[in-house]
Amino acid sequence: MKDNKQKSKIIHFLLLGNSKEHINRVIEYYEIRNIVFFTSINLINENLEFIKDIKKKEINVLETVLLDPFEEKALENMTKKMLDAYSLYSNDGINHIIAGLTGGTNLMVLSMGMLCFSAGLKAHYVVNNENNDVITIDIFQNMVKNGDNIQIFKDLFKGEL
């Protein structure tokens, strides 16, 4: 008899801006194997080589989601893209998503924080100090009690609230 259970993956949603040190630090700290990058459309060409180098380390870069943090309605549009990525990669809760709140623009971090709040995700932040300390943030997990808030945020960005 075949087992129809899918194996759970841990997938890290990471913000990729000009700085790369935080990415390397969390890869080492969490022994990351699966990444979805979120980067600005203005930086994709600059970041392609870095993404190729990450793949050479046998880390699965599942997707690089392009964001426009400087467009009108940037917060709404970026959060919607992150919600869509969460819906795709969480696989109805089978996969465990962990979000990085370091890198990118302030609005990119805010969008990722809104995703964390809406889905109750574990998150982390890399402190810009000599050790690049990693701080685990689990407050979002504690804020979601009955299911998740994903539908509320999806409705909000459709203009239904």
3-state secondary structure of 144: coil
Task: Say how far apart CA 7 and CA 95 lie, in whole Å.
Answer: 8
Q: How many domains does the chain have?
A: 1
- The one-letter code for the residue type at 57 is K
Name residue 67's beta-bridge partners.
Answer: 40
Q: List phi, psi (to 5°) of 30.
A: -95, 0
Consecutive 10-residue averages of pLDDT for the chain (161 residues): 68 96 96 98 96 96 98 95 95 90 96 92 95 91 61 61 44
- Please state the pTM of the whole predicted model: 0.87
Within a domain: 2:
no
Within a domain: 122:
yes
Within a domain: 5:
no
Give the N- to C-terminal CA distance of the chain in Å, as an integer. Answer: 47
CATH of the domain at 21: 3.40.50.10770
Residue 30 is predicted with a pLDDT of 96
Residue 158 is predicted with a pLDDT of 64
